[in-house]
Amino acid sequence: MELYHNQVTRAQGSFSLRMFHRSWGIMLIQANISAPCTVLDFPTRNDFEREITAHAYDVIGISSIIVNIAKVREMCRMIRKLSPNSTIVIGGHVAAIPGVDKMIDADHIVRGEGVSWMRRYLGEDQNAPIRHPAIVSGMRTRIMGIRLPERKGATAATIIPSVGCPMGCNFCTTSAFFGGKGNFVNFFESGDELFEVMQQMETELKVQSFFVMDENFLLHRERAMRLLERMKEGQKSWSMSVFASANAIRKYTMQETGRTRSLMALDGP
Ligand code: B12
Ligand code: SF4
């Protein structure tokens, strides 16, 4: 997937920055089930066909956002033809379309958090601790056709502490998707758990910076403050890019948030 060339720098024509991102939702599901599982990230039609005919998959899950519904429909059609014994599970924001079950030929449409759903479906413990996959937030950066050198640790790691936002503003699709007002799902409840995961990523990916994929990270003040405490104790000068609503940011002093380099409104809810 792309962010910059899709929506930020595309008007800059050949000067536009190209950078690619993996699909974190399905990576998270893969890392948290014990069944053998293959992830194809935006496969070509040929790759998808080859994979589902080369192996007899019990379950084929598809993740998508709403605009890609036609691709989902076609993938379901291919599965029914080429792998008729597979159960088709659809998840991600596409599942929020009213009447989606009539638009595509799937066996299960999963709304909301997918790790616990898939664990339940496979008969595994849905409350088992979450294993966080090592995710480099962006890759294969190029500009004017020239690929920039990639150095381990130069790109931020993605950390996913929670999904959903309990504020439940009435226009907010992502909050609604994970349960709406008062609801959210914490993958890591405490600052201590989060610190451990970040330390693990620091070692594995050699990173000092983190892209925190949480709808409203600073709203969970206790967790954020404990994380800060652990960072101070461990002398970590990690930098973090977070999403947070204005009312959550107001609850912190400037000393607590540290040096804020930029405040950017990206991707409205
Ligand atoms: C980060 C992000 C991106 C990254 C992509 C990296 C990535 N995350 O994979 C970048 C910046 C590249 C990106 C690009 C775009 N994005 Co975007 N993005 C997001 C964002 C902020 C977080 C997604 C995320 O990773 N969350 C964390 C993971 C763990 O959650 P998740 O993906 O939802 O997965 C969970 C469940 O949905 C479910 N699940 C997901 N897949 C599956 C599959 C199965 C089988 C099952 C059972 C469950 C399941 O289980 C997962 C774990 O709980 C969301 C907003 C949000 N907060 O949700 C918008 C969002 C998904 N993006 C959106 C859009 C529109 C786009 C773009 C089209 C924008 C543009 N004009 O270019 C592009 C293209 C994306 C594409 N081709 O699919 C919209 C989709 C709208 C909709 N209702 O469909 C959202 C909701 C933002 C918004 N409100 O506008 N995006
Ligand atoms: S993410 Fe933002 S818009 Fe959505 S419910 Fe939370 S505070 Fe409201």
Ligand 2 atom with least separation from CA of 174: 4
Q: How far is the CA of 199 from the centre of ligand 1 (A)?
A: 25
User: Which atom of ligand 2 is closest in space to residue 248's alpha carbon?
Assistant: 7
pLDDT in tens, 7-54: 899 999 999 999 999 999 999 999 999 999 999 999 999 999 999 999
CA–CA dist 154, 163 (Å, integer): 26
| Tens of pLDDT, residues 137-192 | 999 999 999 999 888 888 999 999 999 999 999 999 999 999 999 999 999 999 99
pTM of the model: 0.94
Give the closest residue (by CA) to ligand 2 atom 4.
Answer: 172
Residue 131: both structure tokens together: 């294993």
Please write the tens of the pLDDT for every residue from 188-240. 999 999 999 999 999 999 999 999 999 999 999 999 999 999 999 999 999 99
Q: Could you read off the pLDDT of 241-256 as tens digits, one per residue?
A: 999 998 999 999 988 8
> What DSSP designation does 175 have?
H
Ligand 1 binding residues, C-beta < 6 A: 1-3, 6-7, 21, 23-26, 28-29, 61-63, 65-66, 89, 91-93, 110, 113-115, 117-118, 160, 163, 173-174, 213, 215, 267, 269
Q: How many CA atoms lie within 13 A of 183 on its CB side?
A: 11
Judged on CB neighbours under 10 Å (0-12, 13-18, 19+), 129 is exposed
Q: Is the CB of 162 under 6 A from ligand 2?
A: no
Q: What is the Rg, in whole angstroms, of the alpha carbon atoms belonging to the chain?
A: 20
Beta-carbon count within 10 A of 236 CB: 15
Q: Report pLDDT for 269.
A: 44
The token pair at 192 is: 């201590």
Give percent of the chain with pLDDT exceeding 70. Answer: 96
